[in-house]
Chain A
Amino acid sequence: MPFKRHIEIGRVAVVNYGKEYGTLVVIVDVLDQHRVLVDSPTMVRAVHSMRRLALTDLSVKIQRIPKKTALVKALQEADIFGKFGSCSWGQKIAVQKAKKSLDDFGRYKLMVARVKKSAILKREVAKLKKTAK
């Protein structure tokens, strides 16, 4: 089974650890076997260890170390943020973020919705059990 996601110039990755946890970055150059130069519209170009990156399926067509404007343009053209947000990984991250940003009332509403949903399900299951018998 060959590897599908490679470290290469233009590969989009999610930062796994540290201060920039969760941000989408693009690999703009490779230093050595363990470190890459990454860039993102919201950060200054920096060196990251590959240990801190989780590669995604997405990649952008860019030159080695592009100017920020060129990078932003390439990201917009490829709609990387949109594509990532709509894929299952991106949706999971969005849900995690939404949950974390709930206040106490929000968490109460979530609990009520969960209880209501499970009540509906249990009712249906009970009906099915009755008809199965």
Chain B
Amino acid sequence: MVACKYHQYQIVGRHVPTEKDASPKIYRMKMWATDAVRAKSKFWYFMSLLKKVKRANGQIISCNEILERKPTTVKNYGVWVRYQSRTGYHNMYKEFRDVTMNGAVDQLYCEMGARHRVRASCLQIVKTATIPSNLCKRTAVTMMHDPKVSFPIQQKIVRPISKSLKTVFKYKRPAACMM
């Protein structure tokens, strides 16, 4: 399986203890980032937005990567996003079918970039969930739920069995017909 670009991290942090408040409230966030450093940075971005804590007066208690519990079963993932378009901020709900949540988030970033020209820095994942099949809304996802799903491959992929056997010039036209 292709390695996922985005990893999920759980970051727990709080304001540094002071004389006024010896044990400040602890906050936990789950975020997607390409690595732990970026994840911590995003954590402080959101923390300073939502609470009176910033990196200078806060401390991260723990930063753990969250791995997929069952990476060999197919699940339906629903993702709620907030993104910045050329004209303002919008909310969106998207559904993906994947084997891991990280894979679904990868798909999300690719799709938002492709369909809406939203760059990764302009995308905020509000919420994610694993959706049971009967509650899915998007046809691209629900059409794969049929246990008797069946469709043909339309075209044969004509390519050498490994990259090392690739040639620049071919002496036969490719026969991509499946018949």
Contacts and interface: CB of A to CB of B under 8 A. Distances in A.
A47 B161 contact: no
Contacts of A9: 147-149
B152 interface: yes
- In this complex, which of B72, B144, B154 has the most chain A Cβ atoms within 10 angstroms of its Cβ? B72
B135 interface: no
A29 B99 CA distance: 11
Interface string B139-176: 01000100111111110010101100000000000000
B37 interface: no
A16 B157 contact: yes
B151 A6 contact: yes
B56 interface: no
Nearest to A22: B161
A20 to B, nearest CB: 11
Contact of B72 (A6, A7, A46, A50): A46
Interface residues of A, number: 25
A51 B157 CA distance: 6
Contact of A3 (B97, B98, B152): B152
B144 A32 contact: yes
B114 interface: no
Nearest to B163: A17
Interface in B85-102: 97-99
Contacts of A1: 179
A6 B162 contact: no
A64 interface: yes
B87 to A, nearest CB: 31
Contacts of A44: 72
B22 interface: no
A44 B99 CA distance: 13
Given A6-B151, A55-B153, A65 B74 contact: yes
Contacts of A47: 1, 99
Nearest to B98: A31
Contacts of A30: 74, 144, 149
Given A1-B179, A3-B178, A30-B144, A37 B72 contact: yes
Interface of B: 1, 72-74, 97-99, 140, 144, 147-154, 157, 159, 161-162, 178-179
Interface of A: 1, 3, 5-9, 16-17, 21, 29-32, 37, 44-47, 50-51, 55, 63-65
8 contacts: A5-B153, A7-B149, A7-B150, A29-B73, A31-B98, A31-B144, A47-B1, A55-B153
